[in-house]
Chain A
Amino acid sequence: MSTTHLLIELVLMPLVAFVVGLAMLLMLRKIGARLQRRVGPPLLQPLFDVIKLYSKRTQVSHGLLHEAGIVVAVGAYVAIETLVPVPGMNGIAEKGGLILLSYLMMVPSLGLALGVGQCANPNGSIGLSRAMTAMLAYDIPFMLVVFGVAWQFQTTNLVELVAVQQAGGIATWGIVENPLLAIAGLFGLQAMLGKQPFEIYVAPAEIATGPMVEMGGKFLGGLFVMQSFQFYTAGVLYTTMFLGGGENWFTFLIKIFVVVAIPLSVAFMFPRYRTEDMVRLVWKWPVILALLGLVVAVQ
């Protein structure tokens, strides 16, 4: 592969992720609107929001780390996007792999923590501690699932993972070969996206939107971009691990949108748990399922 080709891919992959992520943000709001019996926003609404947020005339910054934190969060996601294979583009996915990816997935939360920490707003700090607790909760089933998938297919290389799964059609997909792991993964996905019933760190009525409390203008714009990347990454990762990745762009997009639509639809039916209830739930059922799945994978 030529260097030019690689460079084009490295630019194109985050760009695609951003566009698809914005569409997912729209999907989130449209699903909510339909369940709440209303029309919902127009098609380009997420784009308008992001452009508007970046075009604010005055910005309230609380210091260097406040700005750097957002850059770290968005930057980490840009790096992640180059590490997950999409149809036709592998980027540097062969050099990365599941282990690196699972480390990188923690960086945005840490970046956010840096940024919010400097705002010195108690609501932000409480939200942050809740976000970290949530991360602690969902990381255990998530790591078990990653480990199980790696064992199942005997590889941590994402490109190989896709190739192995696509070799035998649907029969060799992760979700067929090891459904227990797939269910545990879906649980983890709900918690990772921070949607109800695991939406403990946004919680407007309790801590007035937690980490976002001091974010306005470009900072909030950064968070919007980060959220769109987050939706996309979650969808692609799950598709890569359990749904055989993308054969072509058509099936790939269908797969990732369906995967993300499940947690988003569930979110509008439930209130949020308390922190300790969430940790208890996430450490119990997904972990048990993932361990069973791991046993199946090892045998």
Chain B
Amino acid sequence: MNGEVGRPISRLLADVDGARCERKGDRRVRIDATPENLPAVLELLKGRAGYLHLSAITCIDWMDDGEFELIYHLWSYEDRNLVSAHIRIPREPGVYLSVYDLFEPAGFFERDIHEMYGVFFEGSPDQEKFILTEWNGPPPMRKDFDAEGWVQGTFQWEDYRPEWLQEIEEKGGGIAIKPEQARANTRKIRGWKQ
């Protein structure tokens, strides 16, 4: 059955403009859709192919491209196959449609993405803050938010230097890199401008 799964999906999506379907593994299919046709794709997958279970919605911040990528992971209990539907929406204003009416679990994930990335989902039942109720800063998961810089500017550190450590340090040992110098983030990540 495994090898056959990809074909019905591609046949299913033949009518939808701009949706590409690609088999990635034994039980994995990747669909590249556009923001306009994604609701239709999901509707087809749920209605015709039995993809009932929305496993997760992932958001990725492509800051350099000025886009957010949204990935809808759907699982079919009948086909035993997982479909990941990818779309890209512009980073500004960062608004997209909710799929809550199709998949109820979407409510949680959309609220989560709204908190962490600031993407607003029109029609989602609850976009109030859930996790970050005490947070007034920018959406923290965006790549342009420097968490470590914020931490260094906000918090003080416990100064623990007992005698035994001082003795070691006098001999030239101890903590080689001081905490304020050890910024793990100083090394650049590809695709991320600071």
Query: A contacts B directly in the complex (CB < 8 Å)?
Result: no
